[in-house]
Amino acid sequence: MNILFVVLAYFIGSIPSGYLFFRLGENKDIRGFGSQSTGATNVLRLKGWKYAVPVAVLDVLKAALPVWLALRFFDDRRIALAAAFLITLGHCFPVFIRFRGGKGVSTAMGAYAVLAPVPFVLSLAVFVGTIAATRFVSLGSLLATLSFPLWAYFLYGDRQLALLGLAIFILIALRHRGNIKRLLRGQERKFGQREKD
């Protein structure tokens, strides 16, 4: 049962809400436009808030709900931690659309909100503060997800949670390779800039 739940978590994470919403609205593959990600940020740039908000909400919920269920129905918290990682992995590399998905930030934050509310809120503050100061969503995403394992470790001494956060940060950083290069070159798009087809 434990193994089945963890495997199922990957398939839940693989549900590509951004891909589906964009396909419904445009009858096109979002991965051919903008950042080529299925995440809410790319949807926002291409289609605006009307499409981006439901995508973000679904990406958060598809992590938060399974992780909450794992904590509620399994005695071993490691099941919830494994589910959180595999949901994020599924979001980034979804089996249903040939392993090209989003960048994992909303999904990771959905899991963090359930696993550790205080570190989650602090990480969210890093995210919002960074965007307010720089208008770079990618930089806010990277700093927020990097800060989570630090909060988990230094506030609670929770090594398991810190290791999960570190593993997810590495995954998210890998998915942000292009953003990191553009940030270093001073070419990264800022929040609010619409993407041209």
Output the tens digit of pLDDT for each of the chain's 197 residues: 688 999 999 999 999 999 999 999 899 999 999 888 999 989 988 998 999 999 999 999 999 999 999 999 998 999 999 999 999 999 999 999 999 999 999 999 999 999 999 999 999 999 999 999 999 999 999 999 999 999 999 999 999 999 999 999 999 999 999 999 999 999 898 886 655 44
Alpha-carbon 91 to chain mean position: 7
DSSP 3-state helix, strand, coil percentages of the chain (rounded to 5)?
75, 0, 25
Structure tokens at 175: 């998915």
Per DSSP (E only), the strands in the chain are none
Helix axes 177-185, 159-175, angle to 10 degrees: 70
Dist CA 136 CA 179 (whole Å): 10
Region of residue 77 (left: phi > 0; alpha: psi -120 to 50; beta: else): alpha
- Which pLDDT score, from 0 to 100, does residue 35 have? 86
Report if pTM > 0.75: yes
- Which pLDDT score, from 0 to 100, does residue 189 have? 85
- Which pLDDT score, from 0 to 100, does residue 197 have? 40
Dist CA 177 CA 44 (whole Å): 20
Q: Is the four-CA dihedral 103, 160, 147, 66 of positive or negative sign?
A: positive
Helices (H), 93-136: 105-115, 117-134
**What are the residue boundaries of the structural domains of the chain, listed by start?**
2-185
Produce one character per residue of 140-179: b if its CB has 16 or more CB atoms within 10 Å, e if not: bbbbbbbbbbbbbbeeeebeebbebbbbbbebbbebbeeb
